[in-house]
């Protein structure tokens, strides 16, 4: 039950943060920001939370970051773009995916570096 509550409270916080970013930056730019920033943070969390409790890891990764990022909004945008232009849709998907993977890798490296120092 404790782990479920950890995910739930993290999810509430993450979705509120995502909404704030969308309100500030707009849905288009906001989606890029939350997915890339979220990927960076999940990389840091993966490096830094290894020795923390399951509840802490679930709160941060599944709850907070999982609800902060938005794969479903990305998918909906991607299909909308594919309908108007195959090339634009493919570039969008490749760009978002590549940027998110690079951000996660950089976050992991940053998290590992900070853990050593």
Matching residue, tokens 């195959």: 86
Matching residue, tokens 């570039």: 91
66 is in an annotated binding site: yes
In this prediction, residue 38 carries a pLDDT of: 97
For the chain, the structural domain boundaries read 2-116
30 is in an annotated binding site: no
In this prediction, residue 115 carries a pLDDT of: 63
Predicted confidence pLDDT, tens digits, the chain (117 residues): 999 999 999 999 999 999 999 999 998 999 999 999 999 999 999 999 999 999 999 999 999 999 999 998 999 999 999 999 999 999 999 999 999 999 999 999 999 997 655
Alpha carbon distance 46, 80 (integer Å): 33
Residue of 71, 68, 46, 44 whose CA lies nearest to 57: 46
Alpha carbon distance 28, 80 (integer Å): 12
């Amino acid at each position: 039950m404790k782990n479920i509550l950890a995910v739930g409270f993290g999810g509430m916080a993450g979705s509120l943060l995502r909404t704030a970013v969308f309100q500030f930056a707009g849905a288009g730019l906001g989606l890029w920001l939350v997915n890339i920033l979220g990927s960076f943070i999940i990389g840091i969390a993966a490096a830094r939370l290894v020795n923390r409790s399951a509840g802490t890891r679930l709160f941060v990764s599944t709850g907070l970051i999982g609800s902060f990022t938005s794969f479903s909004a990305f998918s909906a945008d991607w299909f909308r773009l594919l309908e108007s232009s195959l090339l634009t849709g493919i570039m969008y998907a490749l760009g978002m995916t590549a940027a998110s993977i690079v951000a996660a890798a950089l976050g992991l490296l940053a998290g590992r570096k900070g853990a050593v120092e």
